[in-house]
Amino acid sequence: MNEPAGPIGVLAIQGSYHLHLRALERLGVKSREVRKPGDLESLAGLILPGGESTVMSLLAREYGLFEPLRLLALSGLPCFGTCAGSILLGRGQGQPPRLEAAPVELLRNAYGSQIDSFTAELTLEPLERPFHGVFIRAPRIVKLDPPARALGIHGGLPVLVECGNLLLATFHPELTDDLRVHECFVKTCAQGRTS
């Protein structure tokens, strides 16, 4: 696997960021916690973790990160959002304010409350074996506009979407020991920014 040109940042203001950092460490990839705008410099990619999307959006604005995150995502920096992170990268009605970097509409907590969380074996492109997906108060992707495309579907709905430099997952790959989704993102980061 080619090395990214710089560290991969993980938005570390709320949510499961430490699990993404651990996944990157296990892959032998340099990473950096992102808490303030200066932490975004020289990144090869950025992960927006699962957590509470409303709190994450509020803190990103409070720490001066919201607009820089949006500009980086729109400028071609590889970005990977999981669950709440995908909500922030996409579009949707109501709270929270979103980065609207991906032409993907997501509905928050669409599968129900915490007790409605579930797991499922997912067939994801380009993985050869099923991936054990963990869905916790997961969003639903309800609309894709070109050039976004589904890399995985569960129950008739996209669960993993790619749009140029952006990867959005409605599940939590960081909650498993399976590093294949993270590995795919690292490969994207090694290829560099898209135009």
Asked if 132 is an active-site residue, the reply is: no
**Does residue 163 carry a catalytic annotation?**
no
Exactly one of 79, 162, 163, 172 is catalytic; name it: 172
Q: Which of 79, 83, 163, 184 is catalytic?
A: 83
Secondary structure letter of residue 155 according to DSSP:
T
DSSP 56-122: HHHHHHHTT-HHHHHHHHHTT--EEEETHHHHHHSB-SSSSP----SSEEEETTTT-SGGG-EEEEE
Q: Catalytic: which of 154, 162, 174, 189?
A: 174
Cβ-based neighbour number of residue 113 at 10 Å: 8
Residue 172 appears among annotated catalytic residues: yes
Question: Nearest to residue 64, comparing CAs of 99, 36, 32?
Answer: 36
Give the DSSP letter string of 125-136.
Answer: TT-SS-EEEEES
- 61 φ, ψ (degrees, to nearest 5): -70, -45
Known catalytic residues?
83, 172, 174
